[in-house]
Amino acid sequence: MKKIVGVLLAAGALFPFAAIAADAPGPGWAFMTPDPDAPAPPPAGGGGGGGGAPAAAPAPQAGVPMIVASGKGDAVRPCNTCHTLSGMGQPESANIRGLNATYFARQMADFKSGARGGPRSAAMAGFAKGLSDEEVKEIADYYSGLKAAPWTNISESATTPKTMVGRNSQRTKAPGTEMEPLGSRIIEFANSPAAIRQMEMPAFVAFVPAGSVNSGRGLVTTGGGGKTTACTSCHGANLQGVMDVPAIAGRSPVYIARQIYSFKNGVRKGTNADIMKGVVDKLSDDDVIAISSYVASQSPS
């Protein structure tokens, strides 16, 4: 696949620590809640997003909308700041590569109206208000035209490398080889900053509890005996989306878990959100981990 170098600015400069740490109706690992003793992120230009990717000006890319590459004045940051030119994004943002254009536009409308809440939603609402319908469509068409690709390797384990979530909500591996118990968490981080910038796949690894993928398979494909509705009934047999229902296969397990908690706790509203709330209401924390692990383990294309 053609390598695309995305621009990743320091998210801490965009989203204040207090704003990221708040509005997290679920476990800290899913909402990328910064560690209390995390150091301040480096200034823009000295590294930041993507675990230290430099914030250099992007080289012109044929076919890339100007707003994706450069933003729109002070009102709208470049989409690639968090989602990268490739659209693959990171666990604290979202993978929007190959995302259905109609669904994308609907989410922008939900951000704009305030229906979609959660961490960083206020910033997204501001960006959405600064874009015209035509500009949203241009961005949606661009990202939907990119072929989805695997981005995270799932590893079942009882332990995980020691990591830290910085004030920019990015999880990075601590220096050295120290391990710690995984417990009931999903710990997802980039193999290296260069892997993100150069689209080395998979760029991320996610440690999930042993047996999670198999447990998730039953919940996703059958509903787990009435505990939930089978994800495949709406998202398609391969979880690759149906019409304006989004593809979820192969996306970040931490991002998937965060959305489940956001639906469950009413933070995320908007078209179809009420339906999703009913679907996830009875899920336990272990169920959320299992579903997210299985979904992320599936091929996105």
pLDDT digits (tens, 9 = 90+) for 260-293: 999 999 999 987 898 999 999 999 999 999 999 9
pLDDT at 152 over 50: yes
- Joined together, the tokens standing for residue 97 give 């590569």
Alpha carbon distance 240, 249 (integer Å)? 6
pLDDT confidence bin for 42, thresholds 50/70/90? low
Q: Which of 109, 144, 179 is the last residue of a domain?
A: 144
Higher pLDDT, 13 or 120: 120
Q: Which domain holds residue 49?
A: 11-144
Does the pLDDT at position 121 exceed 50?
Answer: yes
What is the reported pLDDT for 48?
38
| Whether residues 181 and 110 fall in one domain | no
| Most distant pair of Cα atoms in the chain: their distance | 52
Judge if 285 and 165 occupy the same domain.
yes
- Specify burial of residue 286 (Cβ count, 10 A radius: 0-12, 13-18, 19+): middle
Does any domain span residue 5?
Answer: no
Contact 198, 5 (CB under 8 A): yes
Residue scoring higher pLDDT (129 or 59):
129
Which residues lie closer than 8 Å to 174 by C-beta, 6 or more apart?
161, 162, 163, 164
Helix 133-144 to helix 101-113 angle, to the nearest 10 degrees? 140
Query: Are 33 and 90 in the same domain?
Result: yes
Whether residue 130 sits in one domain with residue 225: no
Q: Lowest-pLDDT range, 19-23, 91-95, 134-138, 278-282?
A: 19-23
* pLDDT category of residue 196 using cuts at 50, 70 and 90: confident
Q: Rounded mean pLDDT of the chain?
A: 86
Check whether residue 58 and residue 110 sit in a common domain.
yes
Whether 166 and 226 map to the same domain: the answer is yes
**Phi, psi of 23, deg, nearest 5:** 60, 45
pLDDT score at 247:
97
| Calpha distance 6→56 (Å, rounded) | 9
What's the number of domains the chain is made of? 2
- Both 228 and 180 in a single domain? yes
**CATH code for the domain in which residue 282 is found:** 1.10.760.10
68 in a structural domain: yes
Does one domain contain both 252 and 160? yes
pLDDT at residue 2 above 60? no
Q: Are residues 118 and 169 in the same domain?
A: no
Same domain for 138 and 163?
Answer: no
Banded model confidence at residue 68, pLDDT cuts 50, 70, 90: very high
Q: Which of 116, 144, 172 is the last residue of a domain?
A: 144
Write down which residue in 144, 170, 185 finishes a domain.
Answer: 144
Give residue 43's pLDDT band: very low, low, confident or very high (50, 70, 90). low
